[in-house]
Amino acid sequence: MYVITIDIDKCEACGDCVDTCPNEIFALVEENGKKYAMVAGDPDDCIGCLSCEAECGEGAITVTEL
């Protein structure tokens, strides 16, 4: 099982994590005028491929295996 964390202060809402995740874990949301990525899918679906970490140019995503 994996824990996915997103530092929303670093997130620039580029959408690359949404596009790259094979299991549709991420979605972009907008709140109080700030757009950012959040974990919207089931974290249990994460396979630990780390492509989200690799694709995020802001270093906002961390995936840790429990």
The minimum distance between CB 51 and ligand SF4, in angstroms, equals 4
Tokens in use for 21? Answer: 């995740």
The minimum distance between CB 36 and ligand SF4, in angstroms, equals 6
Question: Which stretches of the chain bind ligand SF4, using CB under 6 A?
Answer: 2, 4, 6, 11-17, 20-23, 25, 37, 46-52, 55-56, 58, 60-61, 63
Please, are residues 1 and 66 in contact by the beta-carbon 8 Å criterion? Answer: yes
The minimum distance between CB 31 and ligand SF4, in angstroms, equals 14
Tokens in use for 48? Answer: 């630990």
Outline where DSSP puts E strands in 1-66. 2-6, 26-31, 34-39, 61-65
